[in-house]
Each structure stands twice: as C-alpha cells, then as structure tokens.
Structure 1
Amino acid sequence: MTGPGEVGEVGWPDEVASPPAIAATATPAGCGHLRLIATSDLHAQILSYDYYSNRPLFGSGLARIACLIDEARRDAPASLLLDNGDFLQGSALADPDIAGRRGRVHPAIAAFNTLGYDAAALGNHEFNYGLGFLRQAVAGAGFPVLSANVLTAAGSDPLQDRFLCTPFALVSRRLPGMPDGPRAITIGLLGLTPPEILQWDRRHLEGHILVRPMAEAARAWVPELRRRGADLVVCLAHTGVSASRRTNGSDAQAAAIAAIPGVDAVIAGHSHLTFPDGGGHPDPRIDSLRGRIVGKPVVQPGHEGSHLGIIDLWLRPARQGWQVAQSETRLIHGSESIAGLSARTIRAAAAPLRDSLAPDHRAALSKMRRRLGTTTIPLSTWFAQVADCQALRLIGAAKMHHTRRALAATPWAGLPMVALVTAYRCGGHGGPQHYSDIPPGPLSLRHVFDLYPFPNTVTAEIMTGAGLAARLDRTSAIFNRITPGRPDQMLIDPRVPGFSYEVAVGADYRIDLSQPCLRDRAATPGEGRIRDLGIGGRPLAPDERVVVVTNSYLASAHALASDRLVLDDNRLCTDAIAGYIREAGRIGPHRGGGWSFVPMPGTSLLFDTGSGCAGHLGELAALRPEPVGLTEEGFSRFRLHPE
C-alpha cells in the first residue's frame, strides 16, 4: 500500500483489461515496416504526479502512457522511441535542487534511459537553467541528445560548425518480413531547436552560443546524412504546424522543414498542439486529416504525455537504398486510450520508472511541502481571464515588493509602479483541471509553483502611460471583438494562448471589447481597447513614466533596450513570491483598483472554465454568471453579462 503522494498511487480499480491495440495497416508485399514512436514537450511530467496540486494525474504524464509505448513496440519489432524536446523543465522533478543533486542523473534523462529512448532533441526549455545545468543533465544520457543548429562556434557553413550537442545520430534497425529475410536499414535523426532561445534565455546564453535558423541547418545536414549512409532521414524539429500558409517564428516551421528534399518524416512540437488534428487547413500543403505535409508524414504529440505520436513507414528496397512506399500517421490519446485499463496494467508498465525515480519523487515532495505562511482567502485562477483575481494580485504584490526594495536607492524609486502578471494555469490546452485552486489555510512552496511554474526572474523597465496602455491593448488579443447588443458571443479566441494575457496589478483600467485589438499597430488618441488607465485613483498621463515589473522571459521576448531595463538582478519570481509570503506570514485580500470590462448592456458572453469552479462564482458577481453546461472537452461554460 502507498500513501498520498507516494510513487505507485493510481486510484483506479484493478479490473482486467488489455492495452489498446496500436496495430498498423497490413504490410504491403515486398516491404519492411518501421515505426517511429514519439513524445514531445513532456516538461518533466514523468511520474504522472502534479507536485504543485499534490495529486496524481490520471490521463497524462510519461508513467501513464508507458503502457501505450510498450504496446506500440510489441506491435512493431523494428521501432524507434524518440522525444522532441522540452523535457528538462516543468515539474518539481526538474527543479535544480532536485535534478541537480550530486550523484543523481536528471530524472527526465533517467526516465528516458529506463524506457530505452533512442534519441531526444533539445527544445527551448532545456536552456532555462543555463548551459552548466544542461551539460550536466545530458551527460547522463544513454542515448544521443541532438541539436544541429545550436553552436559554440560558427563555421563557414553549417557542416563546419562546432556544436553544443551532437547534431545527428545514425541508428540501425533490421526490418522483418522481407522476402529474403530481415534487412538492415539506417535511419538518420536530426535535431532542430528554436533560435529564439537567444532571446528567451538571453541572461544564460548571450556570448556563449549561437543558433542558426532551423531550416538552414536542415538543408545542409539532410544531404550530408544521406552521404554518411542514412537510408531514411527523420527531423526532430521543436516547432509546430502553422495555422495558415504564413509561417510565424518557431511555432510554425514544420511545413518548411518537411518541404526540404531528402526529409522523410518530421516529429513536431513546441506549440503544445496536436497534429494530425482531423480538421481542414487553409494551407494546401498540409493534410490535417492524414497527418501529412507536402506528402510527408508529420506528427505532433501534444504536451506532458497527453498523446503518443506514431508514424508507421513501409519501406521498399530501391536501386540505391530504400524508398517509402506507404506511411500512416496517428495520435494515440493518452487518457482515452487507457481509460478502460486496469490499474495493474498501468502500474506494471510504469514500475521501472517508479523504481528508478523513487528518491527524486520523495525529494520533490519534501521540498514542495515546505511551509511558508497562511492565506485567509482562496487563491484560484478559474476566472483570472475575465475578472480581477486575488491570486494574480498576490503575484504582482510580491514582485513589486522585491522591485521597490531593489530600486530604493535609484532615480526610479519615486515613480509609480505596476506589475504585469499572467495566469499560467488557466485551462486551454492543459484541459479543464489545469487551474490553480488554493483554499484558505496553510501555504507551502508547492502553492508558489502552482501559481508560477516557470524559472523566470524579476525584471523591471520604464514605460510611459501610453506605452503601458498599448501593451495592455496588445495582450487583450485573447478576447474576441464583441458586437454590442448581441447574445451569446464567445469571449475567448482559442487561437491565442491563455498565457499571453497579462493583467496590470496596481493599475486601474477597463477593457472595451467593442473595439478591435490594436496588436502591433500604434494607437492614436482615443483608439484602442484600454479605457480610464490610472494608478492609485488618479489618471495616468500618456507621457508619464512608470516602472513596469515583468519577468526575464517577457523582457527578452520584447528585446528591451538596455536603457529601459532598470532591474534584472537574477531574483527568481518564485523566490520573490515565497519570500513575500514568508515575510507577511498571513495573506489577506489585496484591495483597491483593478480592471474590468466596459459595460455593454444587452450583450451576453460565453466563457469556458474548469469544472471545479462552482465554489468561486462570487468572484464573477459583477458579470452575473449563468451556467450553460459542459463542453465536449469537459469545461464548464457560463453566460456572462457585462452590464
């Protein structure tokens, strides 16, 4: 028997069931079958346990889908198990205090070793804790860790570069079922990392590494892999599939990489979406139903073990090497596929992971349960996108508290201050349980990471009132434009990530949903969605200077000029929040100011949130919420009245 939080807890009955079949189409005559099995964006969600909410995860995580990996391998004797990056950061298991302990292999690397991964690519979050941490982590890998475009020194062309990690790997498999017996095939694996890491983790990487564009590196290396004996080339590209024909940064380079001659298959990732997604697509190159781009198989397996990606390839001997005669791309949905399985079946497949990571699991639980103080109020994010939220006010107050102390003896000490804060756990692709829900009572370190799960540092910049209004206008892109007087209009644009919405804690303002979002266009007086912007009960003049507290990720992403950045002292946001709670001892409501929507009489909005929100409807009193029902995805839908 195991107690709460112990490795091995599942909570499902032990009814007898077999793993779901992951059988492929029958192999055509004269062909061999090769299977690519893929995960991506695991974010150290290894043991299917949420350390921040202190509960097991029943439908995701590597431990939950280990049984699906076993079945996928059993059905395909010639297979490769691959990961597409973002595995070193995300859960308490990846915290440097846990993952960096002397004598222990990083838990994510240990998990990949245990399950026998054949290769993994570097994503962007592998760099969050710096190059020393990354090098120490990958040193424990019993498999190649790949990136062909992250360099320590640039050569005259990509083939002459010096690399941080191995750019490629050549892996052999013997294909059964051939008329003349098993035949060997060599698969070339190429890793590609988002170049934006130089912005997002600038404080760790500037002056230490260079990054080439992904497609540039791939165009050089794909023919080189062929020259070195690869019969097949697979790109592990930490990038997603564009929603339109126009590609946009690291989120949407999969089509460009698939189009490179010599690439046979692509494992995509980064955007936390899934592909194939079964829908239509405006880009004629992209077949969202069959999982093909320019006719080549591409799979993107969600995030945190939500899905397992499968690409089946049937290969026919050619005059020189092999050719792909047929392919099939599938996503295996984790929670749906294991819903009818017995706990015994799931535990048996996950047992090697539980055994190898048991000391890390206990260390993570111990750290996350450190007591900091108490809260007299609930701290939740069920409605953080539509109403002023005490959870976000706590984060903003903590970051401003640290910033005021840091700037006390500087010329900026007397300026007004606000903090831009995001609800990182707010549903979306994370699902209807992906919310913070902290009841009144003790506050532990796990609650801090529940509210703020990323290793960003506190930064501050100087902005004008007009600049702050423009920033708030851009971040309001999460809201659809609403027509006054019409009923039941969807409030949230699902194409915009929830984590991109920022609330200005310490400011007073209203958002006019009847107006279009300015996005990157400069506003003229009277334009835009932001109304009545003020601080401390007085209007903020357009040319008035204000200290805006944010974080290192956003500061780097917006490429701030050095004369605007007034604080970057490497203080982790989580440390600032924990210190604020510890110093205060007791957290109560933060009062005054806040934000709201401009009233729109006769208008109703539809908003989806998590199914556990029932006890928090008082936070929405001003919007008079009416329950509508559950969506197909399990979210609770409400009708709101912005009057």
Structure 2
Amino acid sequence: MPVADVRQTVDLRILETTDLHVHLHPYDYYADCPNPDFGLSRLAELVDRARVESGNTLLFDNGDFLQGTPVGDYFAYDMGLREGDLHPVMEAMNAMRYDAITIGNHEFNYGLEFLEKSLARADFSVVSSNIARALGATPRADQMLVKPYSLLKRHVRDRIGLMHELTIGVLGVAPPQIMTWERQQLQGRLQVRDMVESVSAWVPEMREAGADLVILLAHTGIGPLRHTLGMENAVIPLARIEGVDVVLSGHTHQVFPSRAFADIPSVDVERGTIAGKPAVMSGFFGSHLGVIDLAMQRDGGVWRVVNHHVETRALRDASMNFPQVAAERSQPMRSPKVRKIVERAHDAVLASIRQPIGQCQTPINSFFVYLGKSASTALVAQAQKSFVAERLDAAHAHLPILSAISPSKAGGLGGARNFTNIAAGQLTLRSIADLYVYPNKVAASRLTGAQIALWLERSASAFNQIHPDVQDQPLMNPAFPGYNFEIIYGLHYDIDLTQPARYAFDGTEIDPAHSRIRNLRFNGAPLDPEAEFVLCTNSFRAQGAGCFPGAEPATICFENPNIVRDVLREHIEREDELRIDADSPFRLLPIEGASVVLRTAPAALDHLRLIEGYAPEVLGADKKGFLRLRLTLT
C-alpha cells in the first residue's frame, strides 16, 4: 500500500521472542552436545542484525522464559536465588535491552517467591493484565501481580529524518489454566481472569492514557474462532478486540505466519494477520525471531498503521557472519555481552549435570514410545509407583496401584533430536533431565476402572485412524502433543486403530460411541469398571491438564512436594545396577494389508530389534530430519 505523506511516516520494527524455556546457550543439555538451532545467545545476533536494518526498533518477550532446561533447574533448586541475585535469563535480557516482557504459565513452576526474585532486577517493564493477587469487582479493580500494562515513550525518526514521540502501550495475558496446572503453588495466593475479559477492560484505559499503538503480548496460541470463558488458546478472539493493533503470540511452540494455519477463517498467512491485525509467533527455545514492520502515519494528530510486513527468521537458516556496521546506526552490538553472560551459566550447569548417580546396562530411549517399547517411560513409571506405594495412607493402601506416564521427549515440534537417548553404562544428573523434562511434582488419583479405560481412550487419540489394505499411512496425528500420550503400566491392553478416536487431539469428546481400547486386563482378568485403583501420575496431570477423564482435584488421593526428577534420582541411586522392566503394556492390533509410517530419531536405527515384530523398513529421512520407518500391522 503506498504511503501518501513521507514527512509524517514512521517505520517501526517490533521484534518478538517467545517460549525460550531457559535455552540460553546453543546446547542440548539432555544429549550433552551443541545444538546451533536454538538458544538466546545466537538469537541475540539476529536481534543485533534486525536493529541494524531498522532505526526504530522494539524488543519483547512473550513468556515461558524461566523453566525448561537444566539451566532453569540449577538456578531454582541447586544454586537458588537470594534477595538481590540476578537470574541469568534476566541478565541476558537486560543486556539485550528488551523493552517489555509478559509472564507465561511456566514462570510459576518454581513457585511464586522464585518468580518474584527473578523479576526483581529486570531493567524493563513486566506486564500481565489477567494475573492478580486478588480479584476486584472489575478487572481494573484487581490487585495485580505485576503491572497490567506499560506505556513506553519512544522518540522515533520518520522517513525524512524528523523526530517524533510515540507512546506505545504494551499489555500481556496468559492462560487462566495456570490456576489448575499450578494449584499446589498458587491456590489462595493468585487468581487469574479470562484473557479476553481482561484485555477488553484495559485497552480503553490505555487509549485514554495516550497510547498511540497497543501491542498485546499474548502467551496463548491460535485456537477456536469463538470466545468461550476461560479458553486456553485465544489469539483469534483477542485479535478482534477493538483498540489492539498488534498481537505477539506463543505458548503452543508454533510458527506464524506459516501454512499450518492456512485454512483458518480470520487468519491470513500471506499477509501475516489475524482478524486483520499484524501478528507473529516465533517458535520456541529461541528457534526463531519474530519480526513485524509497521508503517505508521499521523493523520489529524492520531497515529495509524497504514502498512505492515510480518516474518519469522529461523536460526537454522541464519548465517551469523554479517557486517559489523551497527556503530554507523547508533546501535551498539549486544550479542557479545550476552554470550559472556550465558557462557558463565552454561559452565556451571555442565559441571552439575555430569555428576554420576548410578549404572544401567540397558539403553534408555523413547524412539518407539508410540509402540509401547520405551525403557524411558517404563523407568519413570517404576519410580513413581515405588515412591507412592511407600507413602500411601491407610485409606488407600489396600487399593491396587497403577502408574501412568507420558514421554517428555518424543519428537513433535521439538524436532528429530527431541527424544530421550541414554546409552548403557553410567547414569548422571543429565540422564535424569533427559528422562523427565518438567518440574512436576508426584501425585496420584483414585479412579475407577471405567475412568481408567477412558483415560486410555483419550491417549489413543494420538494415533490416526488406519484403514485396511492401504500402505504407508501416517501412524501419528501431528496435532497431538506427545506429552499427552499416556501409557498405564500395570495393565495390558490392545489398541484397534481401524476405529475412529473418541477424543480430539485437544481432549474434546468427538463421539462416546467410538472406542479403540480392546482386551483391557488387570492381573490377567478383564478390568472391572467398578473397581477402584490408585493411579500414580504427576501434579500437572492430576490437576486436569490434558483433559483426561477423572483427572481433577477431587480425585487426588496423594500429593507430595518432591518433583518427579528427585524421585527418579532416589530410585536410581538406591540400586547397585538399575534394572528396567520395559515390556510394553499395549500392542497395536493387526490390520489386514495395512502398513504405517512412524517418524522417529535417526539414532533409532541402532535399536530396530526392539520392534522387529512390526517388520520395520527404513524409508530414509524426511525434510525435517526424522527417520521414516514403514511398519507392517498384519
């Protein structure tokens, strides 16, 4: 679109990072090797380049920066933060000169006190408009955890070199499910409003206070078109709110604009808009930098967006050898300082995670977890069950104990490296982190056999429906997150993939008449739907995350402050040599004339004997680096 008056036209660049999850260094701590595709220190170089290219630039982070790697755990659990300490994430962000950030759901994993200490020395605004210490009669009357919004005064240069003052309003939101996922940490201490309700209330005040442009830091994904109270992925309804000019999104670890969203009404992947507003989502772990370029024109004293361009820049595609011309544009390079900060933290963490804790002569991996052949999930299930069994109260000790676990790392959006892969021999603290990524606490639920069966139906929606006499059908539903693929150890069951799934990938029930679980047995006998069980799981799942039938606070019968990784460590350390019962609790039923394609890690080639019953054939690697295996289901 042509701009009529260059004298009043300002070009403004907005940069976004999101879902960093403490990936500061380009390093895979689980595999203990470099990974140049991720990391804030490398992303800082892309930020430097973007600032060189544009004189008027703002940098924001969209949340989930505090937890996700052994770096986060080291500073939360091993080192800790005292009053006044500077967390390396904040130190790096200060060095990069962020303008504002918002809070994601994973910021609360280590507790409210740790979060507050981490934020205390931020040199930029921290905003969240729907997280409150106490709710008032209206959103504006809430007692907020941090500022609901910030007004940033910035002097910007127009296209002919004249200076103007812009007031840029920034507000943030996060999913209200925080209060379910982190109930143990936050109950009675925080409350969370619906995101659309909060933004709708605060934007008018921001405009009244003089905001020329309103940028929404929305730690939420692109989901349903219509607003429902308390929805988790609300980008589309949020973008429709009058007065919001730009949406920066995240939470779901996806990239926007991309063809993945091409068929959604209100979403234009060519123009990079949602409900007509420029929007971006920049992946995860520092994989991408989101870039929105705005042309703003003043008309009658009011600044309006008259043109825009949206893109994401991937580290994987970036050459870091660009001319050092920042000094000519009064933009000092920040990345060298960031590298020094990150390397100090990196060295301390490496020394910690390489501590030996035990021995295991069996390789532990998650390459074939969707076929039930997974020593990684079997080991966590064993540790959970032993821990809970030793501590159950008398009211539940008579009940049989089962253990449910989903893989922490099973490919998906994390890529072909995102699998647990621990060689036989010495186990270290790194091994524990590789086995279980999240700082979830141990919990257990009291469920009936009927609820257990529905739990498995929910998990079985991870698979596509497979048709007889059709070759090379994709086995897995790519929309289904691997961390919701629950395996229940202590049972035996079959999965009939000729049948449609009862549940959608997000847990919504499609049709109660659909059923994939067959021959569900406990101790060799059909599972009694009326019988009661203690199902070991984690705090996140037991509170209701993932929409598993029966998983809710009312059914929790055991909670413990120990995180699952500590339970794993204790389990490994008390064994002279760890033994893992990795027999699969389930099998995929034969389907006449059918074959499927499983995407897994290239390293799985050395372990194909584990799935020889499926007669695996190697089809090579796909464009994302996954190994493709043809499996026969007959």
* Category of TM-score, reference length = shorter chain: over 0.9
1:330 aligns with 2:311: yes
Partner of 2:330: none
C-alpha distance in structure 2 between counterparts of 1:124 and 1:316, whole Å: 36
Q: Number of paired residues?
A: 614
Does the C-alpha gap of structure 1 residues 248 and 562 become closer, same or farther in structure 2, counting only changes over 3 Å?
closer
- What is the aligned partner in structure 1 of residue 63 from structure 2? 85
Q: Which moved more, 1:364-373 or 1:213-222?
A: 364-373
1-structure distance, mates of 2:79, 2:310: 34
Q: Which residue of 2 aligns with 1:159?
A: 140
Residue 552 in structure 1 maps to residue 530 in structure 2? no
Q: Offset at 1:424? A: 1.4
Q: Show the 5 A alignment for 1:47-62.
A: 47-62=25-40
Matched, 1:536 2:523: yes
For the pair 1:394 / 2:379, whether they are aligned, the reply is yes
Deviation at 1:118, TM superposition (A): 0.8
- Shift of residue 177, structure 1, vs aligned partner: 2.9
Question: What secondary structure does 2:71 align onto?
Answer: helix
2:256 to 240, 260, 275: 275
Query: What is aligned with 1:607?
Result: 598
Q: Which residue of 1 aligns with 2:162?
A: 181
Letter in 1 for 2:605: A
Q: What secondary structure, in the 3-state scheme, does the structure 1 residue paired with 2:390 have? A: helix
Decide whether aligned partners of structure 1 residues 162 and 589 sit closer, same or farther in structure 2, where only a CA change above 3 A counts.
Answer: closer
Distance 1:569 1:250, change over 3 A: same
The 2-side partners of 1:280 and 1:365 are apart by 39
The alignment status of 1:411 with 2:395, answered yes or no, reads: yes
Query: Deviation string for 1:594-625 (max 9, x for gaps)?
Result: 21111113110011112222111112111111
| Letter paired with 2:390 | R
Aligned to 1:11: none
Change (3 A) 1:367 1:279: closer
Distance in 2, Cα, partners of 1:180 & 1:358: 39
8 Å Cα contact 1:251-1:270 kept in structure 2: no
Structure 2 gap ranges (5+): 327-332
Matched residue SS, 2:45: helix
CA 1:462–1:210 in structure 2 vs 1: closer, same or farther (change >3 Å)?
same
Q: Residue 7 of structure 1 aligns with which residue?
A: none
Residue 353 of structure 1: how far off its partner (Å): 2.1
- Residue type of the alignment partner of 1:597: L
> Which residue pairs with 2:189 in the alignment?
208
SS at match of 2:543: helix
Matched, 1:195 2:172: no
Gaps of 5+ in 1: 1-23
Question: CA deviation digits over 1:238-283, x for unaligned, max 9?
Answer: 0111276787965521111111111110000001111100356343
Distance 1:209 1:441 in 2: 45
What are the within-5 Å matches in structure 2 for residues 510-529 of structure 1?
510-519=494-503, 521=509, 528-529=515-516
Q: Please report how far the alpha carbon of residue 52 of structure 1 lies from its aligned counterpart in structure 2 after TM superposition.
A: 2.2
Tell me the residue number matched to 1:14.
none
Partner of 2:409 in structure 1? 425
Question: Which of 355, 361, 383 is the equivalent residue of 2:346?
Answer: 361
State yes or no: 1:590 paired with 2:571.
Answer: no
- Once the two structures are superposed, residues 384-410 of structure 1 have per-residue CA deviations (whole angstroms, 9 ceiling, x without a partner) of 112321111001000001011011x52
TM-score between the two structures when normalised by the length of structure 2: 0.92
Aligned partners of 1:368 and 1:536: how far apart in 2?
Answer: 39
Q: In 1, Cα distance between the equivalents of 2:210 and 2:217?
A: 18
Residue range with higher mean Cα deviation, 490-499 or 96-105: 96-105
Structure-2 residue corresponding to 1:467: 451
Q: Is the 8 A contact 2:383 2:568 kept in 1?
A: yes
Distance 1:100 1:28, change over 3 A: farther
With over 3 angstroms needed to count, the CA separation of the structure-2 counterparts of 1:195 and 1:251, relative to structure 1, is closer
- In structure 2, the residue corresponding to 1:616 is in which secondary structure? helix
Q: How far apart in 1 are the matches of 2:617 and 2:510?
A: 37
Q: Which amino acid aligns with 2:502?
A: L
Tell me what 1:17 maps to: none
Is the Cα contact below 8 Å between 2:135 and 2:143 reproduced in 1?
Answer: yes
Q: For the Cα contact (< 8 Å) 1:98–1:360, is it kept in 2?
A: no
Counting only pairs closer than 5 Å after superposition, residues 444-463 of structure 1 correspond to structure 2 as 444-463=428-447
Q: 1:613 to 1:350 in 2, by over 3 A?
A: farther
| Structure 2 CA distance for aligned equivalents of residues 527 and 147 of structure 1 | 41
For residues 341-395 of structure 1, the C-alpha deviation after alignment (integer angstroms, 9 at most, x for no partner) is 79xx9xx964312322444323312221221101110001111112321111001
1:304 partnered with 2:285: yes
- List structure 1 runs of 4+ shifted beyond 4 angstroms: 24-28, 243-251, 339-342, 520-524, 558-563
Partner residue in 2 for 1:29: 6
Instruction: Find the aligned partners of 1:80 and 1:419 in 2 and give their Cα distance.
Output: 48
| Structure 1 position 500 matched with structure 2 position 484 | yes
After TM superposition, the structure 1 = structure 2 runs for residues 50-129 of structure 1, keeping only pairs within 5 Å, are 50-95=28-73, 96-98=76-78, 100-102=80-82, 104-129=85-110
* Alpha-carbon displacement from aligned partner over 1:170-214 (angstroms, at most 9, x marks no partner): 112222234471111110000111111000000011111111111
Is 1:92–1:98's contact at 8 Å kept on the other side of the alignment?
Answer: no
Q: How far apart, CA to CA, are the structure 2 residues paired with 1:303 and 1:248? A: 27
Residues 145 and 441 from structure 1, CA distance in 2 versus in 1: closer, same or farther, beyond 3 angstroms? Answer: same
484, 488, 495: which one aligns with 2:472: 488
Letter in 1 for 2:612: A
Give the distance between the partners of 2:526 and 2:279, measured in 1 at CA: 52
- Greater Cα shift, 355-364 or 227-236: 355-364
SS at match of 2:603: coil
- How far did 1:504 drift? 0.9
